[in-house]
């Protein structure tokens, strides 16, 4: 048997878990099967890689040597695979516009502007609630650009070579049914909504934790939080079953009013990401300009947000 990368992954998993049993669970294998594989790997490498007892598994000197090499080889192999896939997915001289986005205000306007500026260049889109998925697709060259949202000052969703630029920073407002007693107010303090049930669209950011923290600072623990699609959120707001957290650029349906939260306890950064070595990086300056213009258009369309922004100039489209 020759040593393979998957064998090094097993050794690394055992070392990181500190026991064969925990490593087996992490790898989705039965413990006896992983033990048998580890014994075969040790035979190939000429000796025991771990000292095992009731306290777990600790690397032997040989195991330390193998781990030190694995920590170099495994990332290098992953980078090679990502670079090869990205190269295979990269077009030639003509840039492509494969755009991925989570729920946000920029995608539609950006598609329109790119199609107008370069009518002969195809524009395709992919939507996901997962910013991590979109980031991985950019890293692998399956998307040219990703439009995602990030809560507050949180870092990008995945460590890697993707470059991120802030298109705009928007406050989070709340949607209430037209008959709600707080509708019509210039702003509403978060504490005034302590008795509400809440609804929000899904995502893999830290927004849920940030919302819980904001509620704690306001002196309450939020009741039921419905995590669901946009249509269901709108229905719950319209029938008075939930207060819906939304980006300030959102266009509410009839029967629903958007109300700003006082002091903007929650904010949402609109980010554009791309791979610096991808073909689309050559046109990134133009794409960034179009993305910012699309965001500015969405701000102007939201009359409530535009009015609020006049008194809160630190938000809005990035310069």
Same domain for 30 and 43? yes
Q: What is the mean pLDDT of the chain?
A: 90
pLDDT tens-place string over residues 22-65 = 988 888 888 888 888 899 998 989 999 999 888 889 999 999 99
Same domain for 309 and 230? yes
What pLDDT score was predicted for residue 86? Answer: 57
Same domain for 164 and 17? no
Give Cα separations from 148 to 22, 73, 100, 145 (angstroms).
Answer: 34, 32, 8, 10
Same domain for 139 and 198? yes
Measured in whole angstroms, the distance separating CA 235 from the mean position of its chain's CA atoms is 26
Same domain for 81 and 131? no
- 9: tokens are 């992954």
Same domain for 159 and 248? yes
Helix 5-17 to helix 31-45 angle (10° resolution) is 120
Our count of domains for the chain comes to 2
* pLDDT greater at residue 121 or residue 105: 105
Nearest to 259 by CA among 167, 317, 192, 168: 192
Q: Would you say residue 140 has pLDDT above 70?
A: yes
Same domain for 39 and 102? no
pLDDT tens-place string over residues 179-191 = 999 998 999 999 9
What pLDDT score was predicted for residue 97? Answer: 86
What range does the domain containing 70 cover?
Answer: 5-88
Q: Are 127 and 101 in contact (CB under 8 A)?
A: yes
Q: Would you say residue 94 has pLDDT above 50?
A: no
Q: Would you say residue 91 has pLDDT above 60?
A: no
3 state SS of 9: helix
Same domain for 163 and 21? no
**Which of 88, 110, 145 is the last residue before a domain boundary?**
88
Q: What is the mean pLDDT of residues 206-228?
A: 93
Same domain for 101 and 82? no
Same domain for 161 and 217? yes
**Which of 53, 88, 123 is the last residue before a domain boundary?**
88
pLDDT tens-place string over residues 219-263 = 999 989 999 999 999 999 999 999 999 999 999 999 999 999 999
**Which of 34, 53, 88 is the last residue before a domain boundary?**
88
Q: Are 258 and 178 in contact (CB under 8 A)?
A: no
Nearest to 148 by CA among 190, 203, 88: 203
- Exposure string of 181-213, with b = 16+ CB inside 10 Å and e = fewer, is ebeeeeebebebbeebebbbbebebebbebbee
Q: Would you say residue 145 has pLDDT above 60?
A: yes
Q: Would you say residue 95 has pLDDT above 80?
A: no
Same domain for 203 and 155? yes
What pLDDT score was predicted for residue 30? Answer: 87
Q: What is the mean pLDDT of residues 139-153?
A: 91
Same domain for 235 and 147? yes
What pLDDT score was predicted for residue 169? Answer: 96
Residues sharing a CB contact under 8 Å with residue 164, sequence separation 6 or more, in sequence order: 156, 271, 272, 273
Look up the CATH number of the domain holding residue 80. Answer: 1.10.10.10
Give Cα separations from 137 to 56, 66, 160, 163, 303 (angstroms).
Answer: 37, 31, 12, 13, 35
pTM: 0.72
Look up the CATH number of the domain holding residue 293. Answer: 3.40.190.290
Q: What is the mean pLDDT of residues 288-308?
A: 95
């Amino acid at each position: 048997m020759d040593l393979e990368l998957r064998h090094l992954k097993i050794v690394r998993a055992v070392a990181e878990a500190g026991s064969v049993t925990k490593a087996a669970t992490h790898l989705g294998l039965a413990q006896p099967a992983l033990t048998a594989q580890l014994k075969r790997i040790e035979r190939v490498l000429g000796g025991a890689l771990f000292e095992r007892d009731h306290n777990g598994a600790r690397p032997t000197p040989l195991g330390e040597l193998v781990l030190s090499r694995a920590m170099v080889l495994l990332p290098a192999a992953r980078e090679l695979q990502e670079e090869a896939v990205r190269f295979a997915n990269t077009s030639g001289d003509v840039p492509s516009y494969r755009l991925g986005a989570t729920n946000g205000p920029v995608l539609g306007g950006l598609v329109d502007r790119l199609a107008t500026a370069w009518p002969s260049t195809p524009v395709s889109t992919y939507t996901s609630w997962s910013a991590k998925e979109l980031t991985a697709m950019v890293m692998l060259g399956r998307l040219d650009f990703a439009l995602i949202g990030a809560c507050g000052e949180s870092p990008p969703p995945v460590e890697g070579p993707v470059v991120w630029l802030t298109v705009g920073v928007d406050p989070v407002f709340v949607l209430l049914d037209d008959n709600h007693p707080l509708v019509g107010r210039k702003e509403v303090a978060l504490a005034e909504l302590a008795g509400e049930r809440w609804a929000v669209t899904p995502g893999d950011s830290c927004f849920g934790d940030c919302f819980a923290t904001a509620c704690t600072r306001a002196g309450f623990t939020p009741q039921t939080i419905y995590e669901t699609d946009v249509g269901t959120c709108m229905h719950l707001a319209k029938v008075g079953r939930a207060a819906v957290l939304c980006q300030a650029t959102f266009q509410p349906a009839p029967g629903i009013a958007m109300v700003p939260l006082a002091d903007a306890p929650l904010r949402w950064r609109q980010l554009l990401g791309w791979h610096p070595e991808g073909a689309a990086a050559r046109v990134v300056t133009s794409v960034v300009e179009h993305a910012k213009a699309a965001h500015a258009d969405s701000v102007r369309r939201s009359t409530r947000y535009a009015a609020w922004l006049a008194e809160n100039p630190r938000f809005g489209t990035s310069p």
